[in-house]
Amino acid sequence: MDNEEFRRHGHTFVDWMADYLAGVEDYPVMAKVQPGEIAANLALSAPEQGEAMEQIFADFQRVVMPGITHWQHPSFFAYFPANSSPPAVLAEMLVATLAPQCMLWQTSPAATEMETRVLDWLRQMIGLPEGFAGVIQDSASSATLCALLTARERASGWRGNSDGLAALPPQCVYVSEQVHSSADKDVMVAGMGLEYLRKIPVDAGFAMRPEALAAAIEADLAAGRTPCCVIATLGSTGVGAIDPLRPIAEICQRHGVYLHVDAAWAGSALVLEQWRWMIDGVAAADSFVFNPHKWLFTNFDCSAHFVREPDDLVRTLGILPAYLKTREADRVIDYRDWSVPLGRRFRALKLWFVLRSYGVAEIRRRIAAHMDLAAEAAGWMDEAADFELLAPLSLALFNFRYHPVGLDDPDALDRLNENLLHDLNDSGALYLTQNNVNGAYSIRFSVGQTNTERRHVAAAWQAIQDTARGLPLAGR
Ligand SMILES: *Cc1c(COP(=O)(O)O)cnc(C)c1O
């Protein structure tokens, strides 16, 4: 493809992109395809001869689009949002064109220096104290892995990397029962062993009980094991639980245990002063992660990872073969030493575009609006005689179920709500995901897509009622 063709197709594609965003509500939110349906339309091998871009683009529309679940549909209430926004998309176009590999300062100084600066913008925006240094990771899972590895090295006197884990006493990690599954996976990857992952009981609000944490740490100490890391969650994935940071931080300090804070989704709410109570005590944390790629209008991937002792992270992950040495290394940051992969995309640019294009005031307004919409929807369900909240509103998330008067068999209620969820999602009008709250099947309602308005939430509530009340009542 020559440059003039590139220019022509580029204009066509941007027109298509703008049309897509204007008409995204016309698509079913969840892709309406069966497993294998898309693969059946993909060639079994790469073409020997190049094809015309017109043909490729036509196939993108014909073959690919039906297999897309539309995360940017304003009736997306599933999982957590994975926000996009026009300024972020524009920045990604530029980055894709420059295609820099930003592992070292020297391999694109602007990428490194902008990453440092915009992460400090974010730090200020969410009220983290000075002294936390930021780096962009591909995901919160990776940031938490880096935290576990650093904690492991620190607790082992920096011997884990050199001597291997077999030479060390077992290292224990503490999380709440509501922790995200990435903690389990990261413990596996770090070689620390799921046997030493302690799931601490939670209180009635699903938050970690500090006295149970203290007891677990003391029991491990007494048995000769090393308490290594606590992961506190702000805004758990299932119900939005908020672990009490200050008492947890005090326990960590008392025992010299590394404290990592996972605020992957809820961190965005910290742009609002009234949510800053969640990070009371954070000055004593060792690291903190939240995902602008969830709820801060910035395309995946962009996970903001803050550390209090960058030297510890670099001591854990730093490596310096001859071919990566640069003459200015002692005066600059080489972010390759702050994460597991060597190669790094230029991810700071989209954040810089988003923060400058919206401004912090507008970002605050949008996050607050999402929370208001979720509160309104939770109120409707709470008031309806045949619906109930299984977990209350937390930020912009709540769990509910349909509970017709007189139907009290737990299994029948589970099946009814499972059918409700599938019917709603199959309708294409909205998209929700399930959860389990205290043993009961629940449906999560999470508001946060960039363009969700009141009319979308109201239509969702109408569809939920109509669909639920039209279901056959098994078990009655
Ligand atoms: C979404 C989420 C994660 C995982 O985020 P990734 O960036 O996809 O790895 C971790 N923790 C919590 C609390 C989350 O909500």
Selected from 3.40.640.10, 3.40.1640.10, 3.20.20.70, 2.30.30.30, the CATH number assigned to the domain covering 101-345 reads: 3.40.640.10
Mean pLDDT taken over the chain:
96
Question: pLDDT at residue 476 above 80?
Answer: no
pLDDT of residue 364: 98
- Dihedral sign (CA 341, 344, 347, 348): positive
Distance 253 CA to ligand 1 centre (A): 25
Question: pLDDT at residue 371 above 80?
Answer: yes
What mean pLDDT comes out for the span 282-292? Answer: 98
Residue 178 contacts residue 238 (beta carbons within 8 Å): yes
Question: pLDDT at residue 209 above 90?
Answer: yes
Give residue-wise pLDDT tens across range 219-256: 999 999 999 999 999 999 999 999 999 999 999 999 99
Question: pLDDT at residue 452 above 60?
Answer: yes
What mean pLDDT comes out for the span 264-279? Answer: 98
Cβ 84 under 6 angstroms from ligand 1: no
Say which amino acid occupies 340: V
What mean pLDDT comes out for the span 9-22? Answer: 98
Give the residue from 423, 435, 436 showing the smallest Cα distance to 469: 423
Q: Nearest C-alpha to atom 12 of ligand 1 is from which residue?
A: 264
Output b/e per residue, 413-434; b: 16+ Cβ within 10 A: bbebbebbbeebbebbbbbbeb
Measured distance CA(349)–CA(369) in Å, rounded: 26
What mean pLDDT comes out for the span 379-383? Answer: 98
Please report which confidence band the pLDDT of residue 300 belongs to, taking 50, 70 and 90 as the band edges: very high
Give residue-wise pLDDT tens across range 153-168: 999 999 999 999 998 9
* The domains spanning 1-30+69-84+360-476 and 101-345 adopt the same CATH topology: no
Instruction: Report how far apart, in Å, the C-alpha atoms of 182 and of each of 148, 187, 355 are.
Output: 12, 8, 28
Give residue-wise pLDDT tens across range 321-342: 887 788 888 899 999 999 999 9
Structural domain spans, the chain: 1-30+69-84+360-476, 101-345
Measured distance CA(224)–CA(221) in Å, rounded: 5
Cβ 182 under 6 angstroms from ligand 1: yes
Measured distance CA(348)–CA(359) in Å, rounded: 16
Crossing angle of the two packed helices 210-222 and 245-255, in degrees rounded to 10: 20
Cβ 303 under 6 angstroms from ligand 1: yes
Looking at the chain, how many residues does it have?
A: 476
Q: What would the DSSP string read from start to end of 313-379?
A: HHHHH----GGG--TTGGGS--GGGGSSSS-----HHHHHHHHHHH-HHHHHHHHHHHHHHHHHHHH
Nearest atom of ligand 1 to the alpha carbon of 142: 9
Distance 184 CA to ligand 1 centre (A): 12
What mean pLDDT comes out for the span 56-71? Answer: 98
pLDDT of residue 324: 79
Q: Nearest C-alpha to atom 14 of ligand 1 is from which residue?
A: 264
Selected from 3.90.1150.170, 3.40.50.2300, 3.20.20.70, 3.90.1640.30, the CATH number assigned to the domain covering 1-30+69-84+360-476 reads: 3.90.1150.170
Distance 466 CA to ligand 1 centre (A): 33
Distance 80 CA to ligand 1 centre (A): 9
Please report which confidence band the pLDDT of residue 426 belongs to, taking 50, 70 and 90 as the band edges: very high
Residue 267 contacts residue 291 (beta carbons within 8 Å): yes
Q: Starting from the edge strand earliest in sequence, which strands make up the sheet with 440-446, in order?
A: 387-394, 397-402, 440-446, 433-437
Q: Give the global pTM.
A: 0.96
Cβ 268 under 6 angstroms from ligand 1: no
Give residue-wise pLDDT tens across range 96-123: 999 999 999 999 999 999 999 999 999 9
Measured distance CA(174)–CA(406) in Å, rounded: 41
Question: In testing the pocket of ligand 1, which one of 142, 182, 206, 301 has its CB within 8 Å of the most ligand atoms?
Answer: 182
Cβ 306 under 6 angstroms from ligand 1: no
Measured distance CA(257)–CA(110) in Å, rounded: 36
Residue in the block written with tokens 């690919």: 64
**Tokens standing for 117?**
């600066």
Distance 68 CA to ligand 1 centre (A): 21
Instruction: Report how far apart, in Å, the C-alpha atoms of 317 and of each of 104, 264, 310 are.
Output: 14, 22, 11
pLDDT of residue 474: 60
Please report which confidence band the pLDDT of residue 475 belongs to, taking 50, 70 and 90 as the band edges: very low
